[in-house]
Amino acid sequence: MLQEFIYHVVPAERWSQTAENSNYEPDSLFIEGFIHFSFFDQVDGVIKRYYRNLDDLLVLKVELSKIQSEIKIEKVPGNGSFPHLYGMLNLDAVVGVYKIECDQNGNYYWVEK
């Protein structure tokens, strides 16, 4: 893996429920068996495909070298290869939390929280 960081989009309310835990376990971990992540250049497309009409979203910046569960880079038909975390995300691997904003032209950008 050449990347140092991976990114995860999460509703702010869901992330706030994690504050007192040492791990993050979204529904996808139990439903699909893994947590969806993106590389930096994929985040915008993920937001546009899956979160376009949702407000109050965050992007988590996660340092790969600190992750304790298994990461696999897997092909997603029609969208390239994405990192998937097969296990809980240990919170000490999260090195940045950014609020997703949208300008009047529909462009997304992140603001450090």
Per-residue pLDDT, 21: 82
User: How much of the chain, in percent, has pLDDT values that exceed 90?
Assistant: 59
pLDDT at residue 2, rounded to an integer: 64
Closest CA to 96 of 35, 11, 7, 2: 7
Dist. CA 59–CA 95, nearest whole Å = 11
The second-level CATH assignment, the architecture, of 5-112 is Alpha-Beta Barrel (3.20)
In the predicted structure, residue 43 carries a pLDDT above the cut 60? yes
Mean pLDDT of 18-30: 86
pLDDT digits (tens, 9 = 90+) for 48-90: 888 877 788 999 999 999 999 999 999 988 888 999 999 999 9
Is the separation of the CB atoms in 109 and 103 below 8 Å? yes
Whether residue 7 has pLDDT greater than 70: yes
For residue 38, pLDDT over 90 is answered with yes
pLDDT of residue 64: 95
pLDDT of 97: 94
For residue 61, give the H/E element and its range.
Answer: strand 57-63
